[in-house]
Every structure is written in C-alpha cells, then in structure tokens.
C-alpha cells in the first residue's frame, strides 16, 4: 500500500484541520477508522471541489489520494468519527439512526479560511449501521456525486462531492453489486435528527451544547437580543425555517424531488443532503413520486413544501426544552408560511423572465403549471423553450409541447401582454440563467451508471462537465438536453442503495 508521501505531491503538511464537531465531546460520536476495500479505482472527481479545498490537481491524480478516498489510508490530520442522530422516517419516530455508513474525517480549513467538513460515505460498518453493511453501491454513489455538483451548478444549496471511488468488493442488495465511496463536503453535516436525538433522550445539556455550536458557527445573528425577546433558540428555529424554505422553493422551481425527506435527511443549514432516490421531473406531474419505496406518496413532488414544514415542526419540538413555551416555537415557525410562497413566486417569476412583481403574476404562474400538468409537458424543456421564445421568437417550439393548443395560445397571449413593457433582452437573459438546459435526468444517470459498471467512466465525466454549467448550451451534447426515452419511466429507484 502507498503512503501519502508516495504521491506526486505530498499533501501532508499542506492541510489545515479544525475538529470543531469532535470538540463537542464523546456523547456526539464514536471514533473509528474506515474499513479498507480491495483494489480501488477512480470513478469520478470534481476539480472544482478539489480546488475549493485546496487539494492540488496532481495530488488528486495520485494513487495516495485514491487510497485515501477509498478509506484505505488515513488523510493526514483527519480524525474519523461516526456521529449519532435519530429521526422521524416516513412520519414515524424511528429512534436512533446515526452515520451508519458515513465517517466524518474532520473539518478542513480551505485556502480562503472557510471550514469544510469531509465525509466518506460507504466506508464500512459503524456502531450505527444497525442491520446495514456500512456500504454504498456504485450506482447510488454516482448519482450522489453527480447530483451534488448538478445542484451546485443550479445555484441550489447542497453538500458537494469531491470524488467517487469504486472497488470490486461485492455488496448485496436485491442483486450483487459493487461498493463505492463518495467523499462529500459541507460546512456541516448536522441534521434535524441530531437535535431530535438528544431531546428525545432528555439529554438537555447535550441539546444545548449542539444548539450553541450551530448558532455560534453558522447562525451568529441569532444572538442578537432584539430577536424573539433574546431567545437565541427560537431565533435559530426561525433562521433554519427560512433557509429550508428558500432551498425547497428552489427544488420546486427546478422540478427536483428529493424522495426521502425524513428528518434525519434534513440539514440544519438548509442544504440539500443525502441524495437517494431523487429525481428531476421529466413530464410535469405535481403528484410525482420518485421513490419506489414511498407507497403513500408522502414525499411526492407537490408535498415537499408541507413536509419541510412538518420536519421543521419536529425540529421545533426537539428544541422546546431550550425555547421554553410552545407558543414561542410556533411563532418562530410561522414565517415559513409566508417566506416559502414568496420565495417560490420569486423563482417562478424569474423563470418567466418577469423583472418585477405584479398582482396578476400568480394567475400567470398557476395558469402555466395547470397546462403543464394537464398535458404532462416535459418540465425542463418547456422552460428552456419558453426562454428561447423570449430570446428569439420560437413560439411554435413552445406550442408544439402542448396538446391543448387553444389553452396554450390563450396563456401565451396573457404572457405577452404581461411582458410587453419589459425588455426582451433583459427577460431572456434572466430566463436563460434561471431555466437550465441540462438536468440530471434519471435516464442520463442510468446510462452513465451502466457504462461505469463496465469500467467506462467517461459518461460520468461528461455529465459532470454539463451539470457544472447547466445553463450553457454545450452544442456537442445537444442530445442530452432532449426528451427522455420511453424506458426512462421504467427506471425504479428506491431507498436501498
């Protein structure tokens, strides 16, 4: 096995670490090392994330880096641990969960001085693995890697992904698959479930330690005494609600379904985390369920905003011992009900190229969503074609998407009346930066995954390039912006990954 110094560039001395989460104390985690995998290979790497972390290109190409990000070698200065959390899954209290297949390596200090936690996901058993094997399979790891970077490219708050490594080590799911490890990156991986864990156990000292840590590290404004009568924990609940509302508004606007919005998958920073059976909508179907294990449709596309609120309510309940009165917690949650619709409306206005807000905009937005749903129009293609229509005059390309031509003509008339006084140039500019040409559709991910199973990782790399810049044209990849093939609707993705 290699040592770090064998790499073209020894990273040892160059990395600075902070271990702030570990400083919370042993009640919050268990220290342990990753379990090695045989003969790892690279599946995908993000140069952008490496650069942000200050990891040199030549080191990222080294065998030492490959061994590090497979869990076979320690990254110098890291101190791996698995954290403990609990959560509500599919509406029910699930008790203790925890990092069952992820390890926090620590918090790296980037060249700009920002703190970034690094996690290996799929690195083997932890004390929180329960019935699981601590592993992640190649397909789900590719999906998490690509989607993390796709969401970032779309401007949506998310954990990032540095790389994916694979191994022929066998993993048993419905069939025999192979193992992979994703290295993911975020300012913090703390979840609503971390708070629920200590609250449910009546460990209010730990609950306070955690809340103070999150406030001081990420929400210092909550200490301002004019907020919530100087109750920083109520202020925290409100601030988390606001960030969550803003993120979910972006999901809805771009047509992203998370698939498993359990409270243990909700980031305290309002980031999109824990990519599982997610999906970007193909045809617009408000009730679309992307997770095949979600038989009730609890996490259907159009239920995501309500579920976000439900999850925030759970967070509020967990914070009650610190907040005090339930009325205070409820008051802190209240702004979600106005922030979310306002954020969504602002996003939808941008999609329509509207530069200011007018009262009739809501009708225009609801009108087009109704038509998109009625004719099951491809969501991404519609918005991109509408942008093209505003940029040039491709009205037919928009009309062609609809069966009910009369209805779309009537809507287009309203739309042109509304936009008459706006500069087409400004509108088109906004729309082309708001309505992506490329999203990680299921079938695109699937094609890259099938090739990767045969050790051809070119599809992963090609998608990464597109998804990092989803608003650009990429003329060579036009076909990847097209309609999904018929077989796309037969792809079945569940929690088991």
**Binding positions for Mg ion, 134-163, rule CB under 5 A:** none
- What, of Mg ion, ligand AMP, none, does residue 132 touch, CB below 5 to 8 Å by kind? ligand AMP
Residue closer to ligand AMP (CB basis): 265 or 434: 265
- What, of Mg ion, ligand AMP, none, does residue 98 touch, CB below 5 to 8 Å by kind? ligand AMP
264 given a catalytic annotation: yes
Question: Hunting for tokens 């970007």 — which residue is that?
Answer: 280
As measured in angstroms, the least distance from the Cβ of 53 to ligand AMP is 24
Residue closer to Mg ion (CB basis): 265 or 380: 265
Is 126 one of the binding residues for Mg ion (CB under 5 A)? no
As measured in angstroms, the least distance from the Cβ of 107 to Mg ion is 20
Cα–Cα dist 298/90, whole Å: 7
Residue closer to Mg ion (CB basis): 194 or 462: 194
**272 contacts 196 by C-beta, under 8 angstroms:** no
CA-based max dimension of the chain = 69
Dihedrals phi, psi of 435, to nearest 5 degrees? -105, 105
With 0-12 / 13-18 / 19 or more C-beta atoms within 10 angstroms meaning exposed / middle / buried, residue 225 is: exposed
**145 contacts 163 by C-beta, under 8 angstroms:** yes
The DSSP line for 282-314 is SB--TT----TT-TT-TT-GGGHHHHHHHHHHH
As measured in angstroms, the least distance from the Cβ of 2 to Mg ion is 32
* Long-range interactions of 470-479: CB distance < 8 A, separation 24+: 470/150, 470/153, 470/154, 470/436, 470/437, 470/438, 470/439, 471/432, 471/433, 471/434, 471/435, 471/436, 471/437, 472/437, 473/437, 474/437, 474/438, 477/438
- What, of Mg ion, ligand AMP, none, does residue 7 touch, CB below 5 to 8 Å by kind? none
Interface residue list for ligand AMP (CB under 6 A)? 97-101, 128-129, 132-135, 260, 264-265, 274, 276, 495
As measured in angstroms, the least distance from the Cβ of 445 to ligand AMP is 17
Cα–Cα dist 149/333, whole Å: 30
Helix (H) or strand (E) segment spanning residue 183: strand 176-186
- What, of Mg ion, ligand AMP, none, does residue 438 touch, CB below 5 to 8 Å by kind? none
Is 434 one of the binding residues for Mg ion (CB under 5 A)? no
The number of residues that bind Mg ion (CB under 5 A) is 2
As measured in angstroms, the least distance from the Cβ of 294 to Mg ion is 14
Site string for Mg ion, 14-33 (x = CB under 5 A): --------------------
- What, of Mg ion, ligand AMP, none, does residue 99 touch, CB below 5 to 8 Å by kind? ligand AMP
Residue 42, SS3 per DSSP:
strand
- Give me the catalytic one of 264, 274, 282, 375: 264
Distance set, CA 490 to CA 2, 166, 292, 379, 486 (Å): 43, 26, 11, 18, 8
Which residue of the chain is nearest ligand AMP when measured via CB? 132
Q: Which residues contact 255 (CB under 8 A, 6 or more apart)?
A: 280, 281, 284, 301, 379, 380, 439
CA-closest candidate to residue 154, choices 269, 59, 272, 275? 272
Residue closer to Mg ion (CB basis): 196 or 274: 274
Dihedrals phi, psi of 87, to nearest 5 degrees? 165, 170
Residue closer to Mg ion (CB basis): 159 or 250: 159
Residue closer to ligand AMP (CB basis): 130 or 358: 130
Cα–Cα dist 96/196, whole Å: 9
Site string for Mg ion, 266-305 (x = CB under 5 A): --------x-------------------------------
Cα–Cα dist 465/354, whole Å: 29
- What, of ligand AMP, Mg ion, none, does residue 495 touch, CB below 5 to 8 Å by kind? ligand AMP
- What, of Mg ion, ligand AMP, none, does residue 17 touch, CB below 5 to 8 Å by kind? none
By CB under 5 A, name the one of 46, 72, 89, 265 that touches Mg ion: 265
Residue closer to ligand AMP (CB basis): 263 or 434: 263
As measured in angstroms, the least distance from the Cβ of 86 to ligand AMP is 9
As measured in angstroms, the least distance from the Cβ of 105 to ligand AMP is 16
Where along the sequence are the contacts to Mg ion (CB under 5 A)?
Answer: 265, 274
Which residues are annotated as catalytic?
Answer: 264
């Amino acid at each position: 096995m290699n040592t770090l110094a064998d790499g073209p560039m020894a990273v040892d001395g160059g990395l600075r670490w902070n271990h702030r989460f570990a400083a919370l104390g042993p009640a919050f985690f268990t220290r342990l090392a990753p379990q090695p995998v045989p003969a790892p290979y690279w599946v995908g790497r993000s140069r952008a994330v490496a650069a942000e972390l200050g990891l040199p290109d030549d080191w990222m190409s080294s065998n030492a880096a490959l061994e590090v990000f497979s869990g076979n070698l320690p990254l110098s200065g890291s101190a791996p641990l698995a954290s403990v959390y609990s959560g509500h899954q599919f509406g029910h209290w699930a008790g203790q969960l925890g990092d069952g297949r992820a390890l926090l390596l620590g918090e790296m200090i980037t060249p700009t001085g920002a703190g970034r936690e690094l996690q290996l996901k799929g690195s083997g058993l932890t004390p929180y693995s329960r019935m699981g094997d601590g592993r992640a399979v190649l397909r789900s790891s590719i999906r998490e890697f690509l989607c993390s970077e796709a969401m970032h490219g779309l401007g949506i708050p998310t954990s990032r992904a540095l790389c994916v490594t694979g191994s022929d080590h066998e993993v048993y799911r419905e069939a025999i698959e192979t193992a992979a490890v994703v290295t993911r990156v975020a300012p913090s991986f703390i979840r609503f479930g971390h708070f629920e864990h200590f609250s449910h156990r009546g460990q209010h000292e730990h609950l306070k330690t955690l809340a103070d840590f999150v406030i001081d590290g990420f929400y210092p404004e909550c200490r301002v005494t004019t907020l919530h009568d100087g109750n920083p924990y109520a202020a925290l609940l409100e601030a988390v609600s606001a960030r969550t509302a803003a993120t979910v508004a972006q999901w809805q606007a771009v047509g992203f379904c998370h698939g498993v919005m359990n409270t243990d998958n909700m980031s305290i920073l309002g980031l999109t985390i824990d990519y599982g059976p997610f999906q970007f909508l193909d045809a617009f179907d408000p009730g679309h369920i992307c997770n095949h294990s979600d038989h009730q449709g609890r996490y259907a596309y159009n239920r995501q905003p309500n579920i976000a609120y439900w999850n925030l309510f759970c967070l509020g309940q967990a914070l009650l011992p610190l907040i005090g009165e339930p009325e205070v917690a409820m008051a802190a949650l209240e702004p979600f009900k106005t922030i979310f619709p306002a954020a969504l409306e602002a996003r939808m206005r941008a999609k329509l190229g509207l530069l200011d807000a007018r009262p009739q905009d809501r009708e225009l937005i609801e009108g087009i969503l109704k038509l998109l749903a009625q004719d099951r129009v491809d969501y991404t293609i519609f918005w991109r074609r509408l942008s093209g229509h505003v940029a040039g005059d491709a009205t037919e390309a928009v009309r062609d998407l609809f069966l009910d031509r009369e209805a779309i003509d009537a809507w287009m008339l309203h739309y042109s009346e509304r936009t008459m006084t706006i500069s087409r140039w400004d509108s088109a500019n906004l729309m082309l930066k708001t309505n992506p040409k490329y999203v990680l559709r299921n079938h695109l991910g699937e094609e890259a995954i099938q090739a990767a199973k045969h050790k051809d990782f070119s599809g992963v790399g090609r998608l990464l390039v597109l998804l990092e810049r989803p608003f650009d044209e990429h003329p060579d990849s036009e076909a990847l912006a097209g309609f999904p093939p018929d077989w796309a609707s037969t792809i079945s993705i569940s929690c088991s990954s």
